[in-house]
C-alpha cells in the first residue's frame, strides 16, 4: 500500500503538467533612445562625432565632460638680442 501511494504522489504532478498551458512570454519594452552622442553599449559619449570619447553619461542621464588636458604654453617670443642680418 505504501508503494502505491508513493507512486501516485509521483505521477499526479506529471499528469497535471501535461494539461497545463505554457505561459505567454511578454517581451520587455525597448530601452529609451540614448542621449545625443552616446556610444551604444557603454556610458561613454562622443558629442561632436569625431570618434573620440568626450565624456560620459551617468545613470540619471547627466553628461559629464572629460577633463581636457592643459595646452602647452606658447613659445617665448624671440629675443631682441642676437645676430642681425
- Give alpha helix (H) positions in 1-85: 2-19
pLDDT number for residue 41: 65
Q: For the chain, which residues make up each domain, given as ranges? A: 35-66
CA distance 17 to 11: 10
pLDDT of residue 1: 60
How far is residue 37's CA from residue 46's CA, in Å, rounded to a whole number?
Answer: 5
pLDDT tens digit string along 10-27? 777 777 776 667 777 888
| Per-residue model confidence as pLDDT tens digits over 40-85 | 667 787 777 777 778 888 878 788 888 777 788 999 888 777 666 5
The pairing of strands 63-65 and 55-57 is antiparallel
Query: 0.75 cut: is pTM over it?
Result: no
pLDDT at position 31, please?
75
Amino acid at each position: 500500500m505504501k508503494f502505491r501511494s508513493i507512486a501516485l504522489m509521483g505521477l499526479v504532478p506529471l499528469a497535471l503538467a501535461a494539461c497545463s498551458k505554457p505561459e505567454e512570454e511578454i517581451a520587455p519594452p525597448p530601452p529609451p533612445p540614448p542621449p545625443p552622442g552616446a556610444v551604444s553599449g557603454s556610458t561613454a559619449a562622443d558629442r561632436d562625432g569625431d570618434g573620440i570619447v568626450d565624456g560620459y553619461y551617468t545613470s540619471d542621464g547627466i553628461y559629464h565632460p572629460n577633463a581636457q588636458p592643459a595646452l602647452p604654453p606658447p613659445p617665448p617670443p624671440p629675443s631682441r638680442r642676437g645676430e642681425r642680418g
